[in-house]
Amino acid sequence: MFEIDNIDELYALQKGLMEIRFNAADVDWAVKGSPFLSRVHERLVETIIAYHEEVGESRKAQGWRDWRRFEARAMERPAVRAYLAKMWGELPTPEAKREAVVDQMRPFVFSAENVTEMIAEIEAESSKRSAI
């Protein structure tokens, strides 16, 4: 299997995934919303945290844990909301909608309440878009 054993390469991959998943505007929806990519991104951040723990850099590891808290993500939250609001009506069931929200919220750590809040925000934005 593919392996990266250089922390700088892990950081570069992390930055690239953040750009593609949350910042770039012209990204194919199937890439941006890929559940596979979201799980890879989650595992990547977990690997970065584990690396820092293994080399005795517990403060850096904690910094990454703090970074992962979804409540603290001011930039990514609106990106998740805007992306999913565009496709919300195409998702056939409440379960599919919840799954899409969870996939988009990775690699962050979040609660069921965070997911419910995001669903409400997305539904409100989707309704606004439909009214236009």
pLDDT tens track for 72-92? 999 999 999 999 999 999 999
132: pLDDT strictly greater than 70? no
Q: What are phi and psi of 4, to 5 degrees?
A: -120, 125
Q: Contact, 80 vs 101, CB < 8 A?
A: yes
Give the percent of the chain with pLDDT over 70: 99
pLDDT tens track for 59-69? 999 999 999 99
Q: Which residue has the tokens 């934005």?
A: 125
Q: What is the DSSP string of 6-61?
A: -HHHHHHHHHHHHIIIII-SS--HHHHT-HHHHHHHHHHHHHHHHHHHHTT-HHHH
- Backbone conformation region of residue 56, classed left if phi is above 0, alpha if psi is from -120 to 50, else beta: left
**pLDDT score for 56:** 98
pLDDT tens track for 84-131? 999 999 999 999 999 999 999 999 999 999 999 999 999 999 998 777
**pLDDT score for 1:** 84
